[in-house]
Amino acid sequence: MKSYSIQEINEVINGVIYGTTSQSITATEQLEKATTSEISFIGNKKYEKYWSTSNASIAVVNEDISIEPGENRAFIKVKNADLAMSQILALFAPPAPIFHTNIHKTATVDETAIIGEGAKIGAGCYIGPKVEIGSNSTIYPNVTILDESTVGNNTVIWSGTVVRERCHIGNDCIIHPNATIGADGFGFRPCSEKGLVKIPQIGNVIIGNGVEIGANTCVDRGKFSSTILGDGCKIDNLVQIGHNSKLGKFCIMAGNSGLAGSVTLGNGVIIGGSASIKDHTTIGDGAVVGAGSGVICDVAAGKTMLGYPAVEARDALKQWALLKRMVCDTKK
Q: Is 280 a catalytic site residue?
A: no
Catalytic residue among 104, 168, 243, 280: 243
Strand order in the sheet with 204-207: 114-115, 132-133, 150-151, 168-169, 204-207, 226-229, 246-247, 264-265, 282-283
Strand order in the sheet with 304-306: 120-121, 138-139, 156-157, 174-175, 212-213, 234-235, 252-253, 270-271, 288-289, 304-306, 311-312
CA 315 → CA 39, 295, 318, 322, 332, distances in Å?
Answer: 43, 14, 5, 11, 26
Angle at 285 between CA 185 and CA 156, to 5 degrees: 55
Q: Taking a C-beta distance cutoff of 8 angstroms, is the pair 326, 309 a contact?
A: no
- SS3 of residue 92 by DSSP: helix
Q: Which residue numbers are catalytic?
A: 243
